[in-house]
Amino acid sequence: MNVAVFGLSQAAQIITNVIENFYNPWLKNRGAEPLNVTALVARGGVAPDFGRVGNLAIINEVQFSALYAKKVINKIIFPREDMANSWLLKLISLGVKAEDFYLTCRLSNNISPLNFLEPYLSAKFLPQLEFHAADNCNLNCRGCSHFSGLVTKPTFPSLTKFEKDLNRLHELIDDIDRLYILGGEPLLNPEVNEYVKLCRKIYPHSKLKLVTNGILLPKMSDEFFQTIRTNNASIEVSSYPPMHSKIPQLEKFLNEKQVDFIVRKYAEKFSIKHTLAPHNKQSEIFFRCSRANCHFLYDGKIAACCFPFMVKYFNEYFNQNWTADGITDLYETDLTAEKIKSRLMTPFELCRHCTDHVMIDWGAISYPSPITDWTNDHLIGNNV
């Protein structure tokens, strides 16, 4: 069987070596068909610009899908540590079937032929998951995809309920590569430390990140920074214009606290994705939507992105009735990892109110906020 391996990373090269020197001999001893790694799949570019790694051609996603359509390559294998859900959606949009995605075990663990490869859909694994420690925010950017500026009072999840929900999710999905605590502004939640501890306890192997606008970081307690350090978490600062001049001082402060952090400095522009006029291109929009890759946990339910959960604030503020669909209840009877992941890769009705990004000048909202702070029809003439 001909297969391709995703990526040019060290993990991709390890996988290729493991298949050739370890996994294939095991398959042959059991009379099974060995795997023939024929290519590495990399982002963008066109061969022969990509060249080769050893005897393996380097191809992009379009070239892979063409070879897949001709049955020259039958499957694609993703390293668990390098998995990007955006690639799954991209390949599906190019005609590759999800049942032909395969996933390795974590290469940092002991590799056994019995756990080395499994179908992606049935694997109890997600590349990424996000959740809110607070729905409200202290910056309130207009056009915020989470509608945080429309949340008029402190709104935090119940820690007890969240613990129950995260344990329930773990029964179905026992490994997550990237786990994000965000908002709104998560540092507004006085129990934020407990969310960090809980996530690390239930998902010990995840890359655990707390995403903040940075405004409150200098006021956080030593206990907070100790929690970040001891739970192998990191801080991701989303720096918007009001914080730009303060970033050098903030970086110095975080270095002194000896925490792992990164600052993502956003320009003077912000994007709006939502349209009042629903369109019929939800599949097209969904499969190229960056937010469809995030996956969002909220009040015992999961969806491809935060939109189905946060739209309630938009509906309430502007007296709209946009349908909140695309949601799976974690407590649904007979729910499996495969059912969850199949639904997360399926466009839903609410996608009809999403467009590609339309850029605007960054600004905080003023109250009452006009609907043009949140929708882009006046900017694009209702064209998706």
- pLDDT per residue, tens digit, the chain (384 aa), is 999 999 888 889 899 999 999 999 999 999 999 999 999 998 765 554 556 666 788 999 999 999 999 999 999 999 998 887 788 999 999 999 999 999 999 987 788 898 999 999 999 999 999 999 999 999 999 999 999 999 999 999 999 999 999 999 999 999 999 999 999 999 999 999 999 999 999 999 999 999 999 999 999 999 999 999 999 999 999 999 999 999 999 999 999 999 999 999 876 888 899 999 999 999 999 998 888 989 999 999 999 999 999 999 999 999 999 999 999 999 999 999 999 999 999 999 999 999 988 888 999 999 999 999 999 988 876 555
Angle at 295 between CA 293 and CA 296, to 5 degrees: 145
CB 162 within 8 A of CB 194: no
Decide: residue 329, CB within 10 A, 0-12 exposed, 13-18 middle, 19+ buried. Answer: exposed
Give the pLDDT score at 111.
86
Give me the pLDDT at residue 10, please. Answer: 87
How many angstroms separate the CA atoms of 294 and 271, rounded?
A: 17
Domains of the chain, by residue range, sit at 2-119, 125-380
**Residue 56, pLDDT score:** 85
CATH code at 125-380: 3.20.20
Q: What share of the chain is helix, strand, coil (3-state, %, to 5)?
A: 40, 25, 40
Work out the burial of residue 221: count CB atoms within 10 Å of its CB; fewer than 13 is exposed, 13-18 middle, 19 or more buried: exposed
> Whole-structure pTM over 0.95, yes or no?
no
* Candidates 3.40.1790.10, 2.60.120.200, 3.30.360.10, 3.40.50.720; CATH matching 2-119: 3.40.50.720
Report pLDDT for 82. 80
Chain centroid to Cα 225, Å, comes to: 25
pLDDT of residue 384: 52
Beta strands in 226-314 (DSSP E): 233-239, 260-265, 269-274, 296-298, 301-303
